[in-house]
Amino acid sequence: MNELQAKWNAAYGSVDRQPEPARVLTANAHLLPAAGTALDLACGLGGNALFLARRGLQVTAWDFSEVAIERLHQQARSLGLALTAELRDVEREELPEAAFDVIVVSRFLTRRLADAIVAALRPGGLLYYQTYTRAKLTESGPNNLDYLLEDNELLRLFAALRLRYYREDDRCGDLAQGLRDEAYYVGCKEVVANAKPRLG
């Protein structure tokens, strides 16, 4: 176990509340398919995975913290939900291509995975993404700029997808109102029309 893994094991082990799904997912749940496969990438305690399983999707959840994965297993069992939670180093292991109808990423950012995430979506698949920005107003989330989004960065990282929803309040207007600190994105992978069959 490396130092970073030990840090997250300790963090997840100390949480005494139920995991909540990302706001971007709950606010845009009406866009979800009625059935299909979903991946909660870097799932933590699995709030997104549990939400998707309740919606009837076939859910896989990956994280490199064994504490998080074990707690997610226990939570799913206690709720009678079927999902697959696996110990995976998501930064090192390859994502399967065209494997998921939905991918959710919340409060995790590794920019070099953007193309692999797009490739892992099936045609018509949806990406839900929410994480912290460099313009955040509070101390929540990381302080390392490597893990904070630049202005409108999700739009650039996932330009290959069709935009379905985006919100990034930044520091505009009344800072006591709105959704500050994070960017919220939903994109859809384009469905390529089948080529016409050859005649003769």
The architecture in CATH of the region 3-8+19-26+33-188 reads: 3-Layer(aba) Sandwich (3.40)
Task: For residues 55 and 62, give the distance between their C-alpha atoms in angstroms, rounded to a whole number.
Answer: 19
pLDDT tens digit at each of 200 positions of the chain: 677 777 767 767 667 777 899 999 999 999 999 999 999 999 999 999 999 999 999 999 999 999 999 999 999 999 999 999 999 999 998 999 999 999 999 999 999 999 999 999 999 999 999 999 998 888 888 999 999 999 999 999 999 999 999 999 887 777 787 687 999 999 999 987 764 444 43
Write down the pLDDT at residue 8. Answer: 63
Q: Is 57 exposed, middle or buried (0-12, 13-18, 19+ CB in 10 A)?
A: buried
Write down the pLDDT at residue 98. Answer: 97
* 83 DSSP β-pair partners: 59
Write down the pLDDT at residue 15. Answer: 72
Q: How far is C-alpha 63 from the geometric centre of its chain's CA atoms?
A: 12
Our CA dihedral for 173, 178, 181, 183, rounded to 10 degrees, sits at -100
Q: Is 9 exposed, middle or buried (0-12, 13-18, 19+ CB in 10 A)?
A: middle
Nearest Cα residue to 47 out of 72, 24, 27, 19 = 19
Give pTM, 2 decimals.
Answer: 0.90
> How many helices and strands in the chain, by DSSP H and E?
6, 7
Task: For residues 119 and 13, give the distance between their C-alpha atoms in angstroms, rounded to a whole number.
Answer: 33
Write down the pLDDT at residue 200. Answer: 37
